[in-house]
Structure 1
C-alpha cells in the first residue's frame, strides 16, 4: 500500500513539472513599422566667433585716451583708443596752408592763361604743385585718423590690455573683439562619409559648460580639400548664439544629422547581442517565438535601426527576451504599442 502512494506522489510531481514547461512566458511585444530616421555622425569641434580680431594700433605713439571697458559691447566704428596727435595736427595745418596758397596761385594763373598772358607750361607746373600739396593734406588727415582705433565691427570686447599714457606699438595688444551673435564650429568628418554630407544638414552641439543644453545649427560649408594626413574633410556649422552661451575656443560635442529616410527602428532592449551577432525574438501566429538574426544600423536615444532581418508589420518581443528561446510560447499581457508607458513594467512584474 505504501509503495502505491509513493508511485502516485512521483507521478504528480512529473505532471507539475511538465505543466510548468507548457506555461506561457510573460513578455511585452511590439509591432514594428517604418518611420522617419536620421543617420548621424559624431565629432569634436572648436567654437569660433563669426568675426574675430585682435585690436592693435597702426603706428607707435603715446595713448591719450581709452574709451571702453573690459567685456563691453561696441558697435562698428565706435572709437576705442586715441593716441596723441599734436604733431600731426600741426603738420596738417601747415599742409593745408601750403595747399591753399598753391590753389590760389593756380586759379590766378588760370585767369592769365585764359587771357593768353602766360605760357601754358607755367600753369601746368602750378597745377602739379597744387595737386602735390593736396595729396600732402590727405596724407596728414589719414595719419591723424590712424591715431584713433575704432571697432571694425559690432561685437564684445575682451579684457583691456592698455592704459592712458602707455606707449603702444603695432605689436601691442589693446583688446580682442568678437562678434558672437552667431558662432562657427569646425569639425572633421571621415572621407568615407563625404558623399552623405550636404550644406544645410542639421547639427546639434553640446558642451561641458552647459551639459543640459543642446545647441542647434546647420552645416554652412564643406571644405574643398581632404586632409592628406587624416583623410578627413573639415565641415563648418553655424549656430545662433543670441544668449552668448557659446564662446570662442569652446570644445563642442557635435552630432551631425543627415536627411531623413524611412527605416525600421526597434528598442535596444529587444536586441540580444551574442558576440558579434545580434538577434531578436519574432512572434509567430501561434504565439510562439523564433530567433531572427538582424543587421543593425545607427543607435540613438534607446532605439536602434534594423537594416536586415525584419519587415514592417513583424511582431517582436521587446521586454523579457532574457527568458526566451526559440519555440517557447509567450503571454503578451500588455502590448508596447497599446501602453508604451506601462507595458514594460507590467511584463517585468509578471516575470518576477
Structure 2
C-alpha cells in the first residue's frame, strides 16, 4: 500500500516538472522576437546650420606712416581715441621744410623777374629788327633766352610745390573717421621716412572672413545666394552678437593646400563692440527642402562605412550601407542608399544581427523632433 502511494506521488511530481519545462520552452520562443523602436523615413524640410571660424577685420584699417624725416614734436591724440577725417594726429619738426619752401618761393620770384626782363628784351629786339637796325638772328636769340627763363619759372614753381608738399607732411592727419591704435613712438623721437606712427581703424562696420569647403561652396551656390546670405556671429566668449550680418562676396579661387574658398560677410558695429583682429564663429543658415534625416543613434560604422538596419515587410532586419551628408543637430542628412518609406531600427542596433526577426515599434514623429 505504501509502495503504491509512493509511485503515485512520483508520477505526479514528474507530470508537474514536465509541465514546467513545457511552459519554459514556450517562454524562450516568445523572447526570441524582441521589440525594437523603428522609424519610417519621410521627406521633410529642415534648416542646416554650418559653423565656421571667422577672422574679424575693420572695413578700413590703414597704417599711418611718416613721409619725411624729422623729430616728432607733438602727439595730438591718444591710443584708442576716436578721430574724425582730417583731424591732426602728429606734428613733426617743420623748420627745415619751411626754410626750403622760402627758398623755393624766392627762386620762383627770381625766375619770374628774369623772364619778364627777357620778354622786354624780345619786344625791343623786334622793333630793331623791323627797322632793320639789327638782323633777325638777334630776335631768335632773344626769344630763345625768354623760353629758357619760362622753363626756369616752371622748374621753380615745381620746386615750390614740392617744398609746400614736404611741409604739409610735417602735419599728419586722420585719413578717415576711425579709432587710433597703438602709438609706438613718443614725443621727441626722431622719425624716419616710412616709420609707423599708428594705425587708424574704421570699425563702424566690420568684415568677417571664413573659409568654406568646395562641397559647401557648391551647395551655397546651388541653393541660391539670396536665400542664404544672412549670417549670425558668435563671439569669442560664446555670446551671440546682437546684429545680423550678410555674405557680401566670395573670393575667386580655392586655396590649393586646403581646398577651401574664403567668404566675406559684413556686420554692422554701431556700439564698436567688434575690433579689428578679433575672432569669432560665423553661422551660415540654409534651408533644405525634401530631404531625409536619419538620427545618429540609428547608425553604426564598419570598415569606414556607415550602416543601418532596415526592417523588411516580414519584420526581418538587414544591414544597409548609406551615404551620410551634413549633420543637422544629432541627425545625418542622407545623401544616398536609403529611400522614403523604408523602416530603420532607431535604437539598440548593437543588439541586432543580420537576418534577425524583431517586433518593430514605430516611433512617433514628435519624438524625433530635435534629433
Shorter-chain TM range is 0.7 to 0.9
Alignment counterpart, residue 295 of structure 1, candidates 322, 327, 332? 322
Q: 1:28·1:317 contact (CA, 8 Å) conserved in 2?
A: yes
Choose which of 185, 189, 195 in structure 1 pairs with 2:209.
Answer: 185
**Deviation at residue 138 of structure 1 after TM alignment:** 0.4
1:280 CA displacement:
2.0
After TM superposition, the structure 1 stretch with the greater mean CA deviation from structure 2, 86-95 or 158-167, is 86-95
Q: 1:292 to 1:33 in 2, by over 3 A?
A: farther
CA deviation profile, 1:76-96 (whole Å, cap 9, x unmatched): 443311112123223323433
The aligned residue for residue 251 of structure 2 is 222
1:151 matched to 2:160: no
What's 1:93 paired with? 102
* Alpha-carbon separation, structure 2, partners of 1:321 and 1:138: 85
TM-score (norm: length of structure 2): 0.70
In the TM superposition, what are the counterparts of 1:98-113 in structure 2 within 5 Å?
98-100=107-109, 102-103=111-112, 106=115, 110=119
Asked if 1:5 corresponds to 2:16, the answer is yes
Query: Which protein has the bigger helix share?
Result: 2
Q: How many residues align?
A: 334
- Distance across 2 between alignment mates of 1:55 and 1:217: 30
Aligned to 1:31: 41
**Could you tell me the TM-score, scaled by structure 1's length?**
0.74
RMSD: 4.2
Q: What is the DSSP-based 3-state SS (H/G/I as helix, E as strand, rest coil) of the residue aligned with 1:329?
A: strand
Post-superposition offset of 1:184? 5.2
For the pair 1:330 / 2:335, whether they are aligned, the reply is no
2:236 to 194, 197, 209: 209
Contact 2:45–2:288 (Cα < 8 Å) also in 1? no
Question: Over residues 115-156 of structure 1, what are the superposed CA-to-partner deviations in whole Å (9 max), with x where a residue is unaligned?
Answer: 845843343233223222212210111111111222334433
> What is the CA deviation profile of residues 153-177 of structure 1, one whole-angstrom value per residue up to 9, with x for unaligned ones?
4433211222322222235332223
1:165 to 188, 193, 196: 188
Q: Deviations over 1:51-70 (max 9, x none)?
A: 43432212221112212211
CA separation in 1, counterparts of 2:172 and 2:233? 36
Which residue does the alignment assign to 2:295? 267
The aligned residue for residue 307 of structure 2 is 279
Which runs of no fewer than 5 residues in structure 2 stay unpaired? 1-11, 128-138
Matched with 1:313 is 341
How far apart are 1:222 and its partner, in Å?
3.5
Counterpart in 2 of 1:242?
A: 268
Number of the residue aligned with 1:349: none
Aligned: 1:14 with 2:25: yes
1:226 CA displacement: 5.7
Q: Is the 8 A contact 1:272 1:280 kept in 2?
A: yes
Counterparts in 2 of 1:5 and 1:298: CA distance versus 1, 3 Å: same
Q: 1:196 to 1:341 in 2, by over 3 A?
A: closer
8 Å CA contact retained: 2:52, 2:210: no
SS at match of 1:264: strand
Q: In the aligned structure 2, how far is the partner of 1:48 from the partner of 1:235?
A: 17
Q: Is the aligned partner of 1:142 residue 2:168? A: no
Inter-partner Cα distance in structure 1 for 2:283 and 2:259: 15
